[in-house]
Amino acid sequence: MTDSLGAYMRTLFLHPPSYDGFDGGAGARYQARREIRSFWYPTWLAQPAALVPGSRLVDAPPDGLTVNEVLPLAHRYELAILHTSTPSFPYDVRVAEAMKTENPDLRIGFVGAHVAVDPEGALRASETIDFVAREEFDFTIQEVAQGRPLRAVLGLSYRDNGIVRHAPARPILENMDTLPFVVDVYKRDLTLENYFNGYLLHPYVSLDTGRGCRSKCTFCLWPQTVGGHRYRTRSVEHVVAEIALATRYFPQVKEYFFNDDTFTDDLPRAEAIAHQLGKLGVTWSCNAKANVPYDTLKLLKDNGLRLLVVGYESGNQQVLNNIKKGVRLDLARRFTKHAKNLGIKIHGTFIVGLPGDRRETIEETIRFACEIDPDTIQVSIAAPYPGTALYREAVEQGWLSGGQLVDGQGVQVSALSYSHLSRTEIFESVESFYRRFYFRPLKVFALAGEMLRGREVMKRRLREGVEFLRFLSRRKEA
Ligand code: SF4
């Protein structure tokens, strides 16, 4: 099953078509259609694609590809690797089945946290799926693409004459520098301009400089399923060489984003990378916890840091303790003040419907958000993903409402309900959160001021404003 590339099968890496505008790619933590058009880079898929010569990565949602447009690809490849997620799994299976009908010889594998948590269930869901790769799947997929027998590939669960079998686990990756650069795959296969994100400059590029997070937030998907709780990192030189290469490949890029769970988990390393990025003169942003000291913030800012994405989650300390956030509200306030004083922008993320949330605590969170006043916010509904401590807790406590994580349009709905807080109340609180945060005179003036600084920004913000209002009105109808 190999071609002129010698040792490798002709391999397609596919983020399948899904709900319109669905940001469920191999880079999104919450797979859902966002309030404004938004797509993360499919970094988890690009990484194994970089290990398989001659492969191709197709990211259908940002490219606006339909199932019918993707199907002809089934004939051109011997192996297809589909990235899936809990909300999109049934849809992704249908895409896989259609591809197999087109080309019955196509070998199909699924990857992603959903199948890593329940490989048996995934394989039983459809005979179309030949195997799933558990844990970190980069080298697992490389070995499959090299044509190794499935039973000999660590980390694989596969179908063998109708019986589901599980190969032993693949050891966690320690030397992260063995992962090749993803920007080569981005350059070869992706259209950068199709990747939007409301709070990042456009066009942007995101990639990972490490995997894993030291924190143990009970709701958080990746560290509990594939990344683990040690922050395993690429060397400073490796990261900086990739960014330097990216600046040559993509002169149009205005910002680089480090999508590591918590880039600031290793402060000396973050500072060392910042020093080098400062020399390159690039603008960059990253995920951070609300506990970075002032001196580090200043050094990062002096070396090109533009924005931090900060998971505040709640404005109630007990709720934060319930989810093991490991952050104190007073320290989060101080951190935010420091960052703002230094001119660092903040995109704050909040969650409603967490364990312990009541109408009053959601109200506290809205007031907290307005008080600390990040530049932009994202409000998510607590999502009990299988494989997380939140999911196990929800099962034990009877909080699962029987609903899905997203509705028929891919918009988040509440899969949790409590005796004191219904799923409808949780769902409706998202809209009031957004309205109360954004429709304040202070915020409206800030956005207007930003728009007046340039035509491009104005065009973009107006488009996003329309999308945002449509999003709110669609939620009202739901
Ligand atoms: S700090 Fe952020 S990335 Fe780390 S476990 Fe908590 S929510 Fe997840």
The DSSP-derived string for 328-374 is -HHHHHHHHHHHHHHT-EEEEEEEES-TT--HHHHHHHHHHHHHH--
Distances (CA, A) of 189 to 13, 173, 194: 10, 26, 12
- The yes-or-no verdict on residue 355 having pLDDT over 60 is yes
Distance 216 CA to ligand 1 centre (A): 7
Non-local (6+) Cβ contacts of 468 within 8 A are 35, 36, 434, 438
Count of beta carbons in the 10 Å neighbourhood of residue 457: 15
The Cα 368–Cα 315 span in angstroms is 5
Distance 200 CA to ligand 1 centre (A): 20
- The yes-or-no verdict on residue 2 having pLDDT over 60 is no
- The yes-or-no verdict on residue 27 having pLDDT over 70 is no
pLDDT of residue 3: 43
The Cα 166–Cα 112 span in angstroms is 16
Mapped onto helix, strand or coil, the DSSP state of residue 18 is coil
pLDDT of residue 190: 98
- The yes-or-no verdict on residue 384 having pLDDT over 70 is yes
Distance 106 CA to ligand 1 centre (A): 37
Q: What percent of the chain has pLDDT over 90?
A: 75
Q: Assign 126 a pLDDT band (cuts: 50, 70, 90).
A: very high
pLDDT of residue 468: 67
Pocket of ligand 1 (CB under 6 A): 213, 215, 217, 220, 223, 261-262, 289, 311
The Cα 468–Cα 36 span in angstroms is 6
User: Are β-strands 232-233 and 210-211 bridged in parallel, bridged antiparallel, or unpaired?
Assistant: antiparallel
Which one, of 246, 242, 244, lies nearest residue 203 by Cα?
A: 246
| Peptide bond between residue 203 and the one before it cis (omega within 30 degrees of 0) | yes
Which one, of 30, 68, 64, 24, lies nearest residue 42 by Cα?
A: 24
Look at ligand 1, atom 3, and give the residue with the nearest C-alpha. 261
Q: What percent of the chain has pLDDT over 70?
A: 88
Distances (CA, A) of 79 to 18, 155, 186, 404: 20, 17, 20, 30
**b/e string for 315-328 if b means 16 or more Cβ within 10 A?**
bbbebbebbebebe
- Among 221, 225, 262, 380, which residue has the most ligand 1 atoms within 8 Å of its CB, making it the best to mutate? 262
Please tell me what DSSP assigns to residue 6. S
364, 350 Cβ separation under 8 angstroms: no
| Residue 202 phi, psi dihedral angles, 5° rounding | -125, 135
Q: Using CB atoms within 10 A of its CB, is residue 156 exposed (0-12), middle (13-18) or buried (19+)?
A: buried
Q: Assign 242 a pLDDT band (cuts: 50, 70, 90).
A: very high
Non-local (6+) Cβ contacts of 416 within 8 A are 353, 382, 384, 394, 399, 400, 401, 423, 426
Look at ligand 1, atom 8, and give the residue with the nearest C-alpha. 220
- DSSP characters over 180-235: PPSHHHHHHH--GGG---TTS-SSEEEE-SEE--S---TT-HHIIIII-SS-EE--
pLDDT of residue 38: 79
Which two tokens mark 281?
């003169």
The mean pLDDT value for 453-464 works out to 66
- The yes-or-no verdict on residue 142 having pLDDT over 90 is yes
* Cα end-to-end distance, the chain, whole Å: 48
Look at ligand 1, atom 1, and give the residue with the nearest C-alpha. 215
54-111: pLDDT as tens digits? 999 999 999 999 999 999 999 999 999 999 988 889 999 999 999 999 999 999 999 9
Which one, of 236, 235, 257, lies nearest residue 246 by Cα?
A: 257
pLDDT of residue 463: 65
Which one, of 275, 283, 280, lies nearest residue 204 by Cα?
A: 283
Look at ligand 1, atom 6, and give the residue with the nearest C-alpha. 217
Strand 376-381: give its sheet, edge to edge: 204-207, 255-258, 284-288, 305-313, 345-352, 376-381
pLDDT, mean over the chain: 91
Which one, of 377, 369, 405, 347, lies nearest residue 468 by Cα?
A: 377
Distance 337 CA to ligand 1 centre (A): 21
The Cα 405–Cα 463 span in angstroms is 27
Q: Assign 414 a pLDDT band (cuts: 50, 70, 90).
A: confident
- The yes-or-no verdict on residue 4 having pLDDT over 60 is no
Mapped onto helix, strand or coil, the DSSP state of residue 166 is strand
Confidence (pTM): 0.92
The Cα 303–Cα 280 span in angstroms is 9
List 198's β-bridge partners, or say none.
none
Question: Could you identify the atom of ligand 1 that is nearest to the CA of residue 229?
Answer: 5
Between 415 and 99, the more confident residue is 99
Between 197 and 250, the more confident residue is 250
Region of poorest pLDDT, from 67-81, 302-316, 381-395: 381-395
- The yes-or-no verdict on residue 26 having pLDDT over 70 is no
